[in-house]
Amino acid sequence: MADRRTPPARGRWRPFSRPGGSATGGALPAPEHSMDPRLEAEPEVVALEGSVVDAAVYRDGRRIAASRSLEEIYRQLPGEPGTMAWIGLLRPAEAQLLEAAERFHLHELAVEDAIVAHQRPKLERYGDTLFVVLRPARYLDDVEEVDFGELHLFVGPDFVLTVRHSQAPDLSVVRRRLEGDPELLALGPEAVLYAVLDAVVDGYAPVIAGLQNDIDEIETEVFGGDPNVSRRIYELSREVIEFQRSTGPLLDIMANLQAGFTKYGTDEELQRYLRDVADHATTAAERVDGFRQMLQNILTVNATLVSQAQNEEMKQLAKGGHAQNDEIKKISAWAAILFAPTLIGTVYGMNFHDMPELRWVFGYPFALGLMGLVCLVLYLVFKRRDWL
């Protein structure tokens, strides 16, 4: 049997360097940078053991050795059928991940993705090693937000290397579950891949429930006329879109796994388990798609309701303006009517000596009659024009 520690000529790890890189302590990855400018600076490099959460060797589904040293794990892995190693890393630094990659001869492109992180969910095959990227999610009740993580898996013929860039999911629960079911764990690294996929997909259920509750609350706020609901719709839409980016590619991952069942000799029982995960992933993706459509409809309804409220306000303002115009017309009409006798009285109140009406017997009744006639004429005119 050929020594498995000798890297194959193709499809495996090959040292490569970047300008200014050191040739000691392993090769540095090709220059690749994240497109997210919000990433934090690279943490201080520490020993590889500092990022090892758990590492063990299993034979026929049972733990036979455990160590935080990958060198020790690598040495105790005999390369016999039914034996595999499972190493879990949490937020490893670049040098730490490079050391693990060199131990297990991982492909340089997959290592680059794991170092840079912030990758979309995907499944890629490099020779006999699978590289899987998953986006677990959890719902935070306190702030009503969805927290997304990132998980990378390297699945080889006799090893599984998990690289977590977030606290979720808790893979110790997955490990305990598999260790409690030796028959399932004895199926090899693909059983670990199934269990991790199952944990990630099952973790979507609380998130879906939380988003559904938020959407129900938003519907109530929309029809309740809450002025701040538009902002909440926008923020929730962003979370749903991000969630859709996590669940959508998962369907392709499951389809690609199922397509390789026959070619790679996947155990029939494991095939059933993986198909069950695919069904759950499909349900989750469909629910998320439905949430996005619902939010679009809610946003449209909210815009319609806001427009109707604005139209109603404009109508009320128009009615108020019309009523105000009617009052102004009435006031103006009565002012004009009252102005006529005032004008006549003012003229005859000047008391000039040469005013013939002052000595006329009918002068006073004439003035009163003139005032009444003018007022009557003005009243009829304004009445006809609907000013009164």
> What whole-number distance in Å separates Cα of residue 121 and Cα of residue 250?
6
- Residue 128 tokens read as 């006999």
Q: Which fold has domain 321-384?
A: Methane Monooxygenase Hydroxylase; Chain G, domain 1 (1.20.58)
- Residue 153 tokens read as 């898996």
Whole-structure pTM value: 0.70
Which pLDDT score is estimated for 63?
Answer: 92
Which pLDDT score is estimated for 155?
Answer: 94
Which pLDDT score is estimated for 49?
Answer: 59
Which pLDDT score is estimated for 223?
Answer: 84
Q: Exposed, middle or buried, 65 (CB in 10 Å: 0-12/13-18/19+)?
A: middle
From residue 365, alpha-carbon distances to 341, 371, 379 in Å are 13, 10, 21
CA angle 123-125-127, nearest 5°?
A: 170
Q: Which helix (H) or strand (E) holds 379?
A: helix 363-384
Which pLDDT score is estimated for 85?
Answer: 92
> What whole-number distance in Å separates Cα of residue 117 and Cα of residue 113?
6
For residue 15, is the peptide bond before it cis, meaning its omega torsion is within 30 degrees of 0?
A: no
Which pLDDT score is estimated for 53?
Answer: 87
Domain edges within the chain: 20-181, 321-384
Q: Are 147 and 137 in contact (CB under 8 A)?
A: yes
From residue 316, alpha-carbon distances to 114, 119, 282, 304, 305 in Å are 62, 54, 51, 18, 16
Which pLDDT score is estimated for 145?
Answer: 87
Q: Which CATH class is domain 20-181?
A: alpha beta
Tens-binned pLDDT, residue by residue, of the chain (388 aa):
334 434 333 344 444 443 334 333 444 444 444 444 444 444 444 455 567 888 999 999 999 988 888 788 888 877 778 889 999 998 888 888 888 888 888 999 999 988 887 889 999 999 889 999 999 999 988 888 899 999 999 999 889 999 998 877 889 999 999 999 999 999 999 999 999 999 999 999 999 999 999 999 888 888 887 777 888 888 889 999 999 999 999 999 999 999 988 888 888 999 999 999 999 999 999 999 999 999 888 888 888 877 777 777 787 777 777 778 877 878 888 888 787 788 777 777 776 667 777 677 777 787 788 888 888 888 888 788 877 7
